[in-house]
Structure 1
Amino acid sequence: MKKITKILAIFCIFNYTHFAMAQKATDGYKRNFKFGVGLNTGLPLNDPYSFNVGGDVRLQYNVSSTYSLCLTTGYNNLFVKEDGVNFGYVPVKVGYKTFIFKNEFYVMGEIGGAFSTTKEYNENSMLFCPSVGYATKYVDISLRYEFLKDFPIIKDNVADNGLAQLMVRLAYGFDL
């Protein structure tokens, strides 16, 4: 039994190294991580909010020259139109970015959670974010639609859920 285990282990190691070497030889792309720090501002599409300001950090893993995986978190503050309590939340999102048109323009989809930091509102929400953007080696500018499924809004003078907003992100990024 020990002999069979040793043979299987050697076989697995051989296959793994052979597969890894074959991928390295044929791919030619140096995979890397990128880190970005961004400022966000937005226009909520629902009452009682007037605008949104925030910041974020993003860790991006470049799978190839055209595909990347992203992990984003930060803080956003929604300002209320009239007297009331402003609404803060921490988004935590994972995303998939695809570069098009000479690897500068991209489309991206993110999904995750938004965690309320407002004392008066102790609920969390799912978060969906499709976006389009333009990225150079250091600068990233994007426009996204953000939908927070369970956050409070006012619709037809009645309390409801489902906050939607348009956001602009300006970020500085660098390779790790």
Structure 2
Amino acid sequence: MKNTTKILIALFVFVYSNVAMSQQSDDGYNRNFKFGVGLNGGLPLNEPYDFNAGADVRLQYNISSAYSLCLTAGYNNLFLKDEADFSYVPVKVGYKTFLFKNEFYVMGEIGGAFSTTKDYNENSMIFCPSVGYATKYVDISLRYEFLKNFPIMKDGVVDNGLAQLMVRLAYGFSL
């Protein structure tokens, strides 16, 4: 996890220094930030989880009209069938590319998922490719989320590698 923290800090420093130098590039595009608040719901693809629900905030820096850098953090709760729920805080950095008139996009995110469950002290890397549709204020996306080190049941044996499909509905605005 120490490398993930270093990567997040390096990305923040890069974005901040880029903004501090100039808000307008030579190509005339006015680079800006967007802020979004989203609700997440998902279907875990592994046992023993039933459903995932959560919320997040995202800071997006628009490099150009087609490319953006993102920093996302939130809280997710995995509901289990017969046991106490499992929750975690995801912190991710991402790269978003807009397609087709800057409304549809593909995005990749990587980061850390930090367990907040009392009896589980492990953390995990998190990988999230996604596709979505964004307007000036609304963002809807579908993503595949893989948490490398979180526990699952496979053929009755405890294993690692939680996979899930998540839907995000968010409201965003320019800063």
| Residue aligned with 1:27, SS | coil
| Residue aligned with 1:168, SS | strand
Percent identity of equivalent pairs: 83
Q: Does 1:57 align with 2:42?
A: no
Q: Does 1:41 align with 2:38?
A: no
Q: Any runs of at least 4 consecutive aligned residues in structure 1 with deviations exceeding 4 A, and if so which?
A: none
For residues 1-176 of structure 1, the aligned pairs below 5 Å read 24=25, 26-81=26-81, 83-176=82-175
One-letter identity of the residue aligned with 1:93: K
TM-score (norm 2): 0.86
One-letter identity of the residue aligned with 1:55: A
- Measured in 1, the distance between the counterparts of 2:87 and 2:157 equals 21
Aligned residue number for residue 10 of structure 1? none
One-letter identity of the residue aligned with 2:43: L
- Measured in 1, the distance between the counterparts of 2:58 and 2:27 equals 26
- Measured in 2, the distance between the counterparts of 1:27 and 1:77 equals 44
One-letter identity of the residue aligned with 2:118: K
- Measured in 2, the distance between the counterparts of 1:149 and 1:134 equals 27
- Measured in 2, the distance between the counterparts of 1:139 and 1:27 equals 27
Deviations 1:123-166 (A, max 9, x none): 00000000000000000000000000000000011000000000
- Measured in 2, the distance between the counterparts of 1:125 and 1:85 equals 19
- Gap regions ≥5 residues in structure 2: 1-20
- Measured in 1, the distance between the counterparts of 2:173 and 2:89 equals 23
Rg bigger for which structure? 1
- Measured in 2, the distance between the counterparts of 1:154 and 1:120 equals 17
- Measured in 1, the distance between the counterparts of 2:113 and 2:94 equals 14
Kindly state the Cα deviation for residue 85 of structure 1 after the two structures are TM-superposed. Answer: 1.2
How many residue pairs match? The answer is 154
- Gap regions ≥5 residues in structure 1: 1-19
- Measured in 2, the distance between the counterparts of 1:167 and 1:142 equals 8
